[in-house]
Structure 1
Amino acid sequence: MATKQQEKSQQTMQELMASAIELFGTKGFANTSVSEITDHAGYAKGSFYRHWNSKDELFLQIVEQKFKQYRATRHDRVQKAADLEEAMNIIWDFLETIVADRNWSAIFLEFTIHAATSEALRKLLNKSDYRLSDRVFAELVRSHVTSEFPPEKIGALNTALFEGFLIHRALGTETLTLGEVREAAIDLAVKNGTKRD
């Protein structure tokens, strides 16, 4: 059973995370300071450092929580899919929820670019807890792939298409709709991942 102090600490952490999400959404990741996060939440700066060592660490925890929520519903549905096409549609339903939250997808893209400048941070971000990596994607579809095409390549192709769409949208240069990218990604996966008679 949690003590009152543990409950208060958990509440403080959740309020700081909510403050960070709100500020990242309005100002961006780079333009939001730890002081702004704590001021906005009504806490002293020390409260932040009792939970995280850096803004990067806070962001990774936020990402981990969001992806755990998404995964809880997605994983079971993918496992029960009748074939690769149905599994891919379930995964793309999940990806579309990320795109639908315009602020979140923009913040995640900004953080991904930020992480590219640090080898340690880049390695952390590529862990399965923080993104739909090629490996995670491959594990989701592996049981539905009936050809010799490596599931990791299906994951890499889909990740590239999805993240490429996010970049084009952030720059305001998207020529393809999300629906068109989704359709192309699923067609590509099914074409390569399904055994031909």
Structure 2
Amino acid sequence: MRKEEKTRRTYERIMAAAMEEFGTKSYDNASITTLCNENQISKGLVYHNFKNKDELYLKCVEECFNEMTEYFKNQEYKADGIQESLQNLFHMRQQFFREHPCCCNLFFYTVVQPPEHLRRKIHALRQKYDDFFINCFRELLQQTEMRDGITEAAAMEYFMIFLEIFNGYFQSRSCEKEDIHALAEYHEENLSKILDIMLYGVAKKNRGERTEK
């Protein structure tokens, strides 16, 4: 076997083991020692390819977000209206998580319990994924008749604030739910509902009620 091929296979073997380790545990509970013992990989090989636990973890996070983004780019989600299109987007994400449970774990831990010292690097690694969803929302807005006085820029700003608040809420809930998959399911179920409220409001307008005061 050529040296290059052997090196590639070793790297892929370490990454597969790391995705399993970080994809089933939190960052704090994951361990390179456990990774090595359970997969018969020497620590020397791991540290030859990766400087430390942080670098290996970030590589797994990067692979997770890249895989998610490519998956979504190859799916069709657009429907007749913005509400159905957004629901399709999140159903698509749920399907991805069912097919890739380790990515589900990694994704939600970066949302609800990211390692504080790696928060900025994680944010940079997920930028392409975030940009994809932001662009999807922008394209849907351009095809939607908005209320008088609501600009695309204002709607986009509101959308970003909404996501920030929503994810912050689930960071606080993460201490209550130890099962990350249960939290992920709860997150996805409520996200589409709250997006619907964001788009259409909560109050039913009474007959004859004026739209402007």
TM over 0.5: yes
Unaligned runs of 5+ in 1: 193-197
How many residues are paired up? 184
Residue 166 of structure 1: how far off its partner (Å): 6.9
8 Å contact from structure 1 (residues 74, 90) kept in 2: no
Q: Is the contact between residue 85 and residue 186 of structure 1 (CA under 8 Å) also seen in structure 2?
A: yes
Q: Using the alignment, how far apart are the partners of 2:165 and 2:132 within structure 1?
A: 14
1:195 paired residue number: none
What do the CA deviations read for 1:73-100 (whole angstroms, capped 9, x no partner)?
A: 3235467554422331232124424665
* Correspondence for 1:139: 135
Q: Does 1:179 align with 2:194?
A: no
Structure of larger gyration radius: 2
Q: Which blocks of at least 5 consecutive residues in structure 2 are unaligned?
A: 202-213
Give the aligned CA root-mean-square deviation in angstroms. 3.6
TM-score if structure 1 supplies the norm length? 0.69
Q: CA deviation digits over 1:113-154, x for unaligned, max 9?
A: 343x22xx2221112536854x54322211111441342431
| Offset at residue 108 of structure 1 (A) | 4.3
> Is 1:123 matched with 2:128?
no
Which whole-Å CA distance do the structure 1 matches of 2:33 and 2:54 have between them?
Answer: 14
Aligned match of 2:61: 63
1:1-197 superposed matches below 5 A? 4-77=2-75, 80-97=78-95, 100=98, 105-111=104-110, 113-115=113-115, 117-118=116-117, 121-127=118-124, 129=126, 132-133=129-130, 135-146=131-142, 147=146, 148=151, 149-158=154-163, 160-161=165-166, 164-165=169-170, 168=173, 171-172=176-177, 178-188=188-198, 190-191=199-200
TM-score scaled to structure 2, two decimals?
Answer: 0.65
- Percent identical among aligned pairs is 18
Q: Evaluate the alpha carbon distance shift between residue 129 and residue 24 of structure 1 in structure 2; reply closer, same or farther with a 3 A threshold.
A: closer
